[in-house]
């Protein structure tokens, strides 16, 4: 089978940086308990590699992170995830005598800075329950949440501003912006989505329409990976999300001569190469 490589693939800068920061934390504090506060990046392999190195995961799917943070002991090391975190976590860490290491992506931090001087009311377009949205809204409590899946604005006025979660697609952004423009005369649209996401999404939009199949490598928890699949489907290309080569067997590959292979921003290059090789042998 012919594999059409979709560029870029492998880690984005923010993920690469976050994993390096976590890795260095364990190297610096080899004898202490080092905890990842939430999925540091949304990929099971990337997190498993850190666990093998001896770091512990405090999983947001098991209990609220705040609760898990409050159970840590003096001298424990906490690594904040790439998605950002509520500032009150810092206060809890200080109170408990924890050592803090911050792996927040600079794009996420930039959004919080943009919010400081933004015209009010400020709307935040994001995914409900995502760590990044939750962190932003906790740190900017006067921001009004707009659900990217179904943005509904309930107010009207002269002006407002709009910020978005870093990984939203152009379509989600446009939909949110349009909804706000129906309710406010002037809407200040702030540049809040990250380049890594935009470039990957554009690459899917550039695929020829006769592409037989698109495979996106990434976790079901990865918003930017799921988004790539959605964009592929919207263009009429049969598109699938899989974690690794073990999931190839559930795809309708029979009779296909070529597939386009893409990856989310937190998928390791090793996984990409393994899947590519497996497809080429079909």
Strands 214-217 and 239-242: parallel
Instruction: Classify each residue of 145-177 as buried b or exposed e, where b means 16 or more C-beta atoms within 10 Å of its C-beta.
Output: ebebeebebeeeeeebbbbbbbbbbeebbebbb
Interface residue with ligand SF4 among 6, 9, 10, 15 (CB under 6 A) is 15
- Short-list 35, 37, 42, CA closest to 11: 42
Q: x/- site string to ligand SF4, residues 161 to 190, per CB under 6 A?
A: -----xx-----------------------
Instruction: Using the minimum distance from each CB to ligand SF4, give the nearer residue, 239 or 266.
Output: 266
Closest distance to ligand SF4 from the beta carbon of 162 (Å): 17
In the complex, what is the shortest distance from the CB of residue 269 to ligand SF4, in angstroms, rounded to a whole number? 15
Beta bridge partners of 260: 4, 214
68-87 binders of ligand SF4 (CB under 6 A): 82
Q: Residue 205: which of 153, 167, 246, 170 has the closest Cα?
A: 170
* Beta carbon nearer to ligand SF4, 108 or 237: 108
Helix (H), strand (E) at residue 158? strand 157-164
| Minimum CB distance to ligand SF4 smaller for 68 or for 111 | 111
Name the token pair of 279.
């497809």
196 touches ligand SF4 (CB under 6 A): yes
Is 280 a catalytic site residue? no
Q: Could you list the residues that contact ligand SF4 (CB under 6 A)?
A: 12-15, 82, 105, 107-108, 166-167, 194, 196-197, 224, 265
């Amino acid at each position: 089978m012919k594999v059409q490589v979709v560029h870029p693939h492998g880690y984005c800068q923010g993920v690469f940086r976050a994993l390096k920061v976590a890795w260095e934390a364990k190297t610096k504090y080899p004898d202490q308990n080092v905890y990842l506060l939430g999925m540091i990046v949304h990929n099971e392999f990337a997190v498993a590699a850190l666990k093998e190195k001896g770091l512990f995961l405090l999983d947001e799917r098991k209990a609220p992170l705040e609760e898990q943070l409050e159970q840590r002991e003096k001298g424990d090391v906490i690594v904040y995830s790439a998605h950002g975190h509520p500032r009150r976590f810092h206060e809890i860490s200080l109170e408990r005598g924890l050592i803090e290491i911050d792996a927040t992506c600079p794009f996420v931090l930039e959004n919080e800075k943009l919010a400081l001087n933004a015209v009010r009311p400020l709307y935040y377009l994001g995914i409900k329950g995502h760590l990044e949205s939750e962190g932003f809204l906790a740190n900017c409590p006067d921001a009004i949440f707009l659900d990217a899946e179904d943005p509904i604005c309930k107010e009207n006025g002269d002006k407002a501003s709009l910020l978005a979660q870093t990984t939203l697609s152009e379509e989600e952004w446009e939909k949110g912006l349009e909804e706000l423009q129906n309710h406010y005369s002037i809407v200040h649209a702030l540049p809040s989505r990250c380049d890594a996401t935009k470039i990957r999404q554009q690459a899917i939009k550039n695929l020829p329409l006769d592409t037989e199949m698109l495979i996106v490598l990434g976790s079901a928890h990865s918003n930017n990976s799921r988004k790539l699949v959605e964009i592929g489907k919207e263009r009429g290309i049969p598109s699938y999300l899989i974690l690794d080569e073990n999931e190839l067997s559930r795809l309708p590959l029979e009779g296909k001569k070529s597939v386009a292979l893409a990856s989310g921003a937190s998928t390791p290059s090793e996984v990409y190469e393994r899947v590519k090789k497996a497809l080429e042998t079909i």
